[in-house]
Chain A
């Protein structure tokens, strides 16, 4: 029996979002695409365990996350250099955001513990409910809420600190250039 085309289309429709999530986990587009491919292979091999009418994106995200977690344990060291490489994964950057600001944001996001980052992305970017995100991550809803809040607080701190660092020397420089003493 062939795969129901409707199910197939649901799978395909989830791929763009699945890639975005994979990139946020891996920090590297090649590995992310491998991960997505592996997820699709696994999903289609076990498509019978998907109940039609239930949440296809959540099902696929769960598979992808589990694969990533088991791979992550093997390759921990490599994955941790994700920091600076994330920026290389995208061809463009969103128009409404300045390049510098965007890079700062990426850098700050990369500093979050991975469980906080994934919770924030699932809820804040993928658009999953807290319940779905909890199911995907295999933890309690309260845990997801806590991780998301912690992630947001930490990001706000990092971004605020960055901008103070950025403005500080600049202000000092301007003061010097203006021939000013200090007040």
Chain B
């Protein structure tokens, strides 16, 4: 127990990093759910593609373990291109697989999303192979800069970066939704897609925008995790997708702030639980939380309980 208290600050930092990433993924789920009422099964794959894009950009900009330009610029490029590619994938999935089913039963939509997920996963498997790709971040950050200590707690540069980027993106999203005209249109569409359309909102454009933003954030999360844990393979999207979904549900699906809160809570819980559990069962924690929340309080922590309309 003594040891546990000593480790606590460290675990909190780790949890916050992980939680920020989960929150980014969860936002993508929750935004799409809020507007279309669908569970975008393929979101985990979008995250995975973001991770691969980040790796690929880094790979292109590295020669003989030396990066070709300023490290900050490289990281920025990785994030921006990953967000762009992921966003594009998200939009294409919406256009080709989901839009034709806008008025179909929900089950069809879900199965179509499952199809997109399988397709993307195996697309990457086919062209990238099953092997794990490693981010060579050694060249990115000088040795002296890599970790610093505050008390006994170790802060790595990457963790700090991930936390900073995550919170910056979440702040930008909040401003977009609260303060801009497009944000207002998005909120209106989430409330009632038909009414919004009648009031002159171009609903199709809003849906595309939501997929773009959600997928871009997912892509950013993919690259950030790549920088953090230095690895990506074709299968990471599956787990990450489930975690992101858990976070979204924990906070209350459909609510963006719920997703942020849920993500951070999930990250903290996971990293605190790891100290007690064998590492092999780490993922079970998230699933148990997911199952419990869905059964006990399916509307989540901050979501509102809405009775079914008869």
A and B form one complex: no
Residues of B within 8 A of A (CB): none
